[in-house]
Amino acid sequence: MADLLMIESWLQSSGLMLPPLLHDGGHRYVLVTRDPDLYRLPGGALHPVLALAAEVVVAETNDDDALVATARELAARRQIDGVLTTCDYYLPAVALVAEELGLPGAPAEVLRTATRKHRVRQVLAAGGVLDVPFAVAATWAQAHKAAADLGYPLVVKPVDMNSGTGVRKVTDEEGLAVAFAEATTPERNTRDQPLERLALLERVVEGPEYSVESVTRDGVTRVLGITAKSVAEPGAEAGSGFVESGHLFPAPLAPEEREAIERHVVAVLDAVGLTHGISHTEVRVTAAGPRLIELNPRQGGGYIFELVRLVTGYNPLQVLVDLALGREAVPGPVAAASAAVTFLLPPSDGVVREVRGAEHLADDDRVLSHETPSAGREVRPGDNNERIGHVLVADPRGHEAKAWADEIVAALDIRIAVRVPTP
């Protein structure tokens, strides 16, 4: 049994699954949060992160000095064996607190780099790692000049957001203006942290997209596997975004393709200086070789952590706990040869009227979990936050998981009452 310090949490996905994993493993944790009321489920029920906490401490988690002081006070009166979070926005804070308490973790400065997209690009350029041509813009004049230098089409994104928020593909100056404003106008993120309000402009790279799920300990990286990612671009107009529409694990790759991707990702992690932690690194394989899309120093979202567990026996959330405690990760039983998730995406702005065919999901032995939207839900195409459901399947013996998931989702009929714009 161990005692952990959890600094904030995601509300969904891994945020729902980590608390019971800790509880079932015999561990205790103290949740430090600036706002306990954030962790409420629909209907007012307590989120598991609150319900299963040994103690909830209210502190200003957006202030490093206040957070470190709180952590020191806690460590003075109770055992603290490790520090963790499932929330991207608090990864540098977790690293800082671990440093201050002398607990396992990556250097805080490394996490400050790894969670800022432009700093990662700058580090790779300085280290000679082959990467995507890019520029950083704080003003419209800088963005306009960068676009002229890089050439269209471009991807424009804020440097410090997640889940695909504000990521836009632009093909002309009009689209650039919209994307630049979207990337730089917001002053704070959903956790009330100040944003840098910088736009990262990247030349578009073509090729299939993958993510590499890795564990790094004592500076040595072990690749758990590679996920094949399906990416949709809702809307064909300039300024369209990207939505991850499905994942397949393991990715169907030739050995030489797999080795090239793994080498590139290890080079990226080494250049950034990530010596300790779990990572989810997105790449595209271009005609010139793998190129980084984004580095995420955390477990993969979008149920990737569950796909990895089913196929490899390594539960990335358990690995997160093991790393926080300085332990070597140990795999559990393997349950499938392949696993996949396909997401339900809204075809248009509007309100869900009904979902037909969902009644068959519970009786399908291939389906391990599923979610469909309820009638009356407002929906719109957008980033990953706008996905409206999922179907997760596993193939115990073969590699049909993705085909099965796509087939099952295609059989669902989502009826949308389209919102008519007012004149």
Q: What is the per-residue pLDDT across 304-344, written as a single tens digit (0 to 9) for each?
A: 999 999 999 999 999 999 999 999 989 999 999 999 999 98
For 149, other C-beta atoms within 10 Å of its C-beta total: 11
Residue 305 amino acid letter: F
The reply to whether domains 205-335 and 338-418 share a CATH topology is yes
Residue 421 pLDDT exceeds 60? no
Q: At what angle do helices 316-324 and 14-24 cross, to 10 degrees?
A: 60
Band of the pLDDT at 346, cuts 50, 70, 90? confident
Taking the CA of residue 423 as centre, how many other CA atoms within 13 Å lie in the half-sphere pointing to its CB?
Answer: 0
Does the domain spanning 133-204 belong to CATH 3.40.50.300?
Answer: no
- State mean pLDDT over 360-380: 88
Looking at residue 417, its pLDDT comes to: 85
- State mean pLDDT over 384-390: 78
Contact 340, 248 (CB under 8 A): yes
In angstroms, the Cα distances linking 374 to 85, 414, 415 are: 30, 10, 11
- State mean pLDDT over 173-199: 96
Beta-sheet pairing, 154-158 with 199-203: antiparallel
- Percent of the chain at pLDDT > 90 equals 79
Residue 252 pLDDT exceeds 70? yes
Residue 239 pLDDT exceeds 70? no
Residue 397 pLDDT exceeds 90? yes
- State mean pLDDT over 283-310: 94
pLDDT: which is higher, 299 or 121: 121
Residue 44 pLDDT exceeds 50? yes
From CA 77, how far away is CA 72, in angstroms rounded?
9
- All structural domains of the chain with their residue ranges: 3-103, 133-204, 205-335, 338-418
> What is the tens place of the pLDDT at every residue in 30-42?
999 999 999 988 7
In angstroms, the Cα distances linking 329 to 21, 94, 322 are: 15, 20, 6
pLDDT: which is higher, 231 or 140: 140
For 25, other C-beta atoms within 10 Å of its C-beta total: 11
φ, ψ (nearest 5 deg) of residue 104: -60, 140
| CATH of region 338-418 | 3.30.470.20
Helix (H, G, I), strand (E, B) or coil at 286: strand
Contact 196, 159 (CB under 8 A): yes
Residue 186 pLDDT exceeds 70? yes
- Percent of the chain at pLDDT > 70 equals 96
Band of the pLDDT at 238, cuts 50, 70, 90? very low
Residue 217 pLDDT exceeds 90? yes
Taking all residues of the chain, what is their mean pLDDT, rounded to a whole number? 93
Looking at residue 338, its pLDDT comes to: 98
Contact 296, 282 (CB under 8 A): yes
- State the pTM of this model: 0.90
Does the domain spanning 205-335 belong to CATH 3.30.470.20?
Answer: yes
Categorise residue 43: left if φ over 0, alpha if ψ from -120 to 50, beta otherwise. left
Six-digit token pair at 336? 């499938």
Looking at residue 419, its pLDDT comes to: 65
Low-confidence winner among 77-81, 112-116, 299-303 (lowest mean pLDDT): 299-303
- State mean pLDDT over 44-68: 96
Which CATH number is 3-103's, of 3.20.20.70, 2.40.100.10, 3.40.50.20, 3.10.20.340? 3.40.50.20
Looking at residue 249, its pLDDT comes to: 97
Residue 171 pLDDT exceeds 90? yes
Helix (H) or strand (E) holding 391: strand 389-395
Six-digit token pair at 90? 């608090």
Six-digit token pair at 289? 């070789």
Contact 168, 238 (CB under 8 A): no
Helix (H) or strand (E) holding 133: none
